[in-house]
Amino acid sequence: MAFHPFAHLRSWACRAALPLALASLAAVAPAQAQLADPGIFLEDGSGALATLPAGVQRIADVPYGADPLQRMDVYLPSAPRSGVDGPAPVIFMVHGGGWRTGDKAMGRVVQEKAARWVPRGFVFISVNYRLHPAVDVLQEAIDVALALDTAQKQAAQWGADPTKFILMGHSAGAHLVSFVNAHAPLLRQLGVTPWLGTVSLDSALLNAPVVMALPHYPLYDDVLGSDPAYWLAISPYQAVSGSQPPWQFVCSTRRPDRPCLQAQGMAAHVQALGGRAEVLPQDLTHGEINADLGLEGSYTRAVEAFMGSLDPTVAQRLR
């Protein structure tokens, strides 16, 4: 299937609303011209690899394209879970790393999530994608969409249900899954099976033109360039129509760039157009929002409450 219509899918009718959005955020923007070095966004590119949790098996490097990075790992129960009938729901995870680094096998991407959800009857998929500067951010999003379509088409062989996917991503991966979710109507037209919803873990690029107009990390200039038309093209906010699957925006209250402001603005925009979105602020660092998800506690339970609200089978397996 061809995803290249992504590059031409918006007329950018929301341009007129941009000055108002800029004015509303400028009042709370940091005073400095740029923020400090964004090392927090590169955490997914380093650290220990995930170890295989007990009761979990991995099918490594399932291809969805010709490039060596167009691969995904599929985590399944080692043995059938007693008392569970029917195909498994799927959590489809996209790593972060500032669009320039990161890997599907990093422990903070996989470890606690697979350990919690696979034994409960889920399939967990962790996805790689091509990285900047080899490709641009739009092509990275196309990779994620292609991986999703491939995983859905192969779901039955893993005992999974192609209609019960939940998208999840952290940092740059949160931007990519938010972008894909924003373009759900187009992807449905292209033959992608509708998914249940999306969990965006601490993205700070939901409204790209606003981010680039205000004080921001140097990383954004390197990756996103200086063309306002391109910022619009890769921005989830401008693509929202209200017909997307539900969103949950998890955001760190500790970050100096205040990602919860963007999450709240995005959720309000989705809701105003008739869609469903919620914001989950957390007193955690950017990295902890990724690494701690799956650990027993109020944070994991709040994400699970959202996931369970999307589908009765998901809710049943989370009990």
Q: Please state the pTM of the whole predicted model.
A: 0.89
Question: CA-to-CA distance for 163 and 89, rounded, in angstroms?
Answer: 8
Beta strands in the chain (DSSP E): 56-63, 71-77, 88-94, 123-127, 160-170, 197-201, 247-252, 277-282
Cβ pair 178, 203 in contact under 8 A: yes
Architecture of domain 14-318: 3-Layer(aba) Sandwich (3.40)
Residue 30: its pLDDT value, please?
38
The predicted model gives 63-87 an average pLDDT of 88
Model confidence at 172: pLDDT above 90: yes
Question: CA-to-CA distance for 227 and 219, rounded, in angstroms?
Answer: 15
pLDDT-derived band at 254, boundaries 50, 70, 90:
very high
Model confidence at 2: pLDDT above 70: no
Cβ pair 239, 10 in contact under 8 A: yes
Model confidence at 317: pLDDT above 80: yes
For residue 215, whether the previous peptide bond is cis, meaning omega lies within 30 degrees of 0, is: no
Residue 31: its pLDDT value, please?
36
Model confidence at 27: pLDDT above 50: no
pLDDT-derived band at 309, boundaries 50, 70, 90:
very high
Residue 79: its pLDDT value, please?
81
Strand order across the 197-201 sheet: 56-63, 71-77, 123-127, 88-94, 160-170, 197-201, 247-252, 277-282
Helix/strand/coil for 92:
strand
Pairwise pLDDT comparison (48 vs 114), residue with the higher score: 114
Residue 234: its pLDDT value, please?
95
Q: Which of 33-37, 176-180, 207-211, 299-303 has the lowest mean pLDDT?
A: 33-37
CB under 8 Å to 52, separation ≥6 — which residues? 58
Model confidence at 290: pLDDT above 80: yes
Residue 16: its pLDDT value, please?
34
The predicted model gives 227-239 an average pLDDT of 95
Percentage, residues of the chain above pLDDT 70: 84
